Amino acid sequence: MRRTIKELADFLSCEFEGDALTPVSGVASAASARPEDLIYVESSRHLEGASASPARCVVVGPGLSLRGKAVLRAANPKFAFARAAEWLLPAAPIAQGIHPTAVIAPSAQIAEGVGVGPFAVIEEDVQVGAATQIGAYCFLGKGTWLGAGCRLYPRVTIYSGVRLGNYVVVHSGAVLGADGFGYVAHAGKRWKFPQVGSVQIHDEVEIGANTTIDRGSLDQTEIGSGTKLDNLVHVAHNVSIGENTVIAAQTGISGSVVVGKNVAFGGQAGIADHCVIEDDSAIGAQAGVLPGKTVRKGQMVWGTPARDLDKFKEQYARLTRLPKLEEKVKNLENRVIHGLITGIDH
């Protein structure tokens, strides 16, 4: 979409400097930008690269100046850049209209403006909100509820009874509402414990490709508003995740874990069952939190078993010195043994 810097400044509610008619039609990095692309600069370290870029329009942070460019001034240039990108380059439609090969049960309630792609299946008593888009080969089980403006990419599977709020994005291959991993041992066998709960996904959640979210055992699994899950994340049954949490790829969260608001998980983190991860905390990449543990509000933990970051760094530094310590001990042993042998000889 082609706009001017003045229109962009009005949209972002920020000041601009330069020719009001400077055209902007896309976004890019400074190195790969074309003249009509928008770029951004957060710190003075990147001013030289931005100055050399062909881009005519730059979003800059407070106190920065850039000669020869049309400049948008924003308190948070990266955020302003992200909003501009969404406005200039709206997401391509996933599905428009109801494709003739889609299979939709007569009892399903499909609101105005919904798109349903080829070979999608929508079962009985499903409700789909206005302007939601459902990609090719998606499956919506009986009694599923989707809010307005959701985007389901191709081959998303949603089991019966799952509820999605408004503006939820689910990427390809994700499975929502499968049975949790719950069994009872008796008489030498594993007997399946009931997995009859539900899944509640609140507004503006994004769920990555091939991510799986299990239904609750007897209650529900819940993902709070604004939370973002990367690809290949697993959320087990009865997990509760608060608002605006971010979870990086290959993280696994075991059953009955409670995660607070604004928590950050690094990639490949592993959270055992019945843990509590309090608000504003951070779990480092590949960290392992043991069963029933609590990560306190604002705490950052790393390692396995997970411990406070400062403690982890101290212990890790000591661990890296072990080879030299081992060599010293061996040298001391050799000297002691040599002294004993020498003493016996005399």
State the Cα torsion 72-85-61-11 to the nearest 10°.
50
Structure tokens at 186: 């008796």
Question: What is the pLDDT at residue 52?
Answer: 94
Could you report the per-residue pLDDT of 108-154, keeping only the tens digit for each? 999 999 999 999 999 999 999 999 999 999 999 999 999 999 999 99
Question: What is the pLDDT at residue 8?
Answer: 95
Could you report the per-residue pLDDT of 212-268, keeping only the tens digit for each? 999 999 999 999 999 999 999 999 999 999 999 999 999 999 999 999 999 999 999
Q: Are residues 107 and 211 in the same domain?
A: yes
In this structure, is residue 81 part of a structural domain? Answer: yes
Rounded CA separation 319/305 (Å)? 15
Structure tokens at 304: 């396995």
Residue 218: how many CA atoms within 13 Å on its side-chain side?
2
Structure tokens at 301: 């933990």
Q: Are residues 120 and 255 in the same domain?
A: yes
Residue 192: how many CA atoms within 13 Å on its side-chain side?
7
In this structure, is residue 275 part of a structural domain? Answer: yes
Q: Residue 92 — φ and ψ, nearest 5°? A: -65, 145
Q: Are residues 181 and 214 in the same domain?
A: yes
- Per-residue pLDDT band at 167 (split at 50, 70, 90): very high
Instruction: Give, rounded to a whole angstrom, the gap between the first and last alpha carbons of the chain.
Output: 95
In this structure, is residue 184 part of a structural domain? Answer: yes
Number of domains in the chain: 2
Q: Are residues 63 and 128 in the same domain?
A: no
Q: Are residues 291 and 248 in the same domain?
A: yes
- Per-residue pLDDT band at 330 (split at 50, 70, 90): confident
Q: Is the four-CA dihedral 73, 78, 80, 86 of positive or negative sign?
A: positive
**Is 237 an annotated catalytic residue?**
yes
Lowest mean pLDDT among 189-198, 211-220, 333-342: 333-342
Rounded CA separation 32/39 (Å)? 10
Q: Are residues 35 and 125 in the same domain?
A: no
Q: Which of 202, 245, 233 is nearest to 220 (CA)?
A: 202
Q: Are residues 54 and 83 in the same domain?
A: yes
Task: Report whether pLDDT(346) > 60.
Answer: no
In this structure, is residue 206 part of a structural domain? Answer: yes
Q: Are residues 233 and 136 in the same domain?
A: yes
In this structure, is residue 192 part of a structural domain? Answer: yes
Beta-carbon count within 10 A of 261 CB:
17
CATH code, domain carrying 200: 2.160.10.10
Q: Are residues 75 and 176 in the same domain?
A: no
Q: Are residues 234 and 168 in the same domain?
A: yes
Rounded CA separation 283/295 (Å)? 9
**HEC secondary structure over the chain:** CCEEHHHHHHHHCCEEECCCCCEECEECCCCCCCCCEEEEECCHHHHHHHHHCCCCEEEECCCCCCCCCEEEECCCHHHHHHHHHHHHCCCCCCCCCECCCCEECCCCEECCCCEECCCCEECCCCEECCCCEECCCCEECCCCEECCCCEECCCCEECCCCEECCCCEECCCCEEEECCCCEEEECCEEEECCCCCEEEECCCCEECCCCEEECCCCCEEEECCCCEECCCCEECCCCEECCCCEECCCCEECCCCEECCCCEECCCCEECCCCEECCCCEECCCCEECCCCEECCCCEEECCCCEEHHHHHHHHHHHHCHHHHHHHHHHHHHHHHHHHHHHHHC
Q: Across residues 39-61, what is the average pLDDT?
A: 93
Could you report the per-residue pLDDT of 273-306, keeping only the tens digit for each? 999 999 999 999 999 999 999 999 999 999 999 9
CB 42 within 8 A of CB 94: no
Rounded CA separation 319/325 (Å)? 10
- Among 43, 58, 88, the domain-final residue is 88
Q: Across residues 150-171, what is the average pLDDT?
A: 98
Q: Across residues 180-189, what is the average pLDDT?
A: 95
Point out the catalytic residue in the list 171, 202, 234, 237: 237
Question: Radius of gyration (Cα) for the chain, nearest Å?
Answer: 27
CATH code, domain carrying 66: 3.40.1390.10
Determine the structural domain holding residue 110 and report its residue range. 103-309
Question: What is the pLDDT at residue 323?
Answer: 87
Task: Report whether pLDDT(338) > 80.
Answer: no
Question: What is the pLDDT at residue 327?
Answer: 86
In this structure, is residue 302 part of a structural domain? Answer: yes
Could you report the per-residue pLDDT of 65-102, keeping only the tens digit for each? 888 899 999 999 999 999 999 999 999 999 999 999 99
Q: Are residues 131 and 154 in the same domain?
A: yes
Q: Across residues 317-331, what is the average pLDDT?
A: 86
The residues, ordered by sequence, that sit 6+ positions from 183 with a Cβ below 8 Å of its Cβ are 190, 191, 192, 193
Q: Are residues 111 and 64 in the same domain?
A: no
118: amino acid identity, one letter: P
In this structure, is residue 237 part of a structural domain? Answer: yes
In this structure, is residue 115 part of a structural domain? Answer: yes
Q: Across residues 30-41, what is the average pLDDT?
A: 95
- Per-residue pLDDT band at 344 (split at 50, 70, 90): low
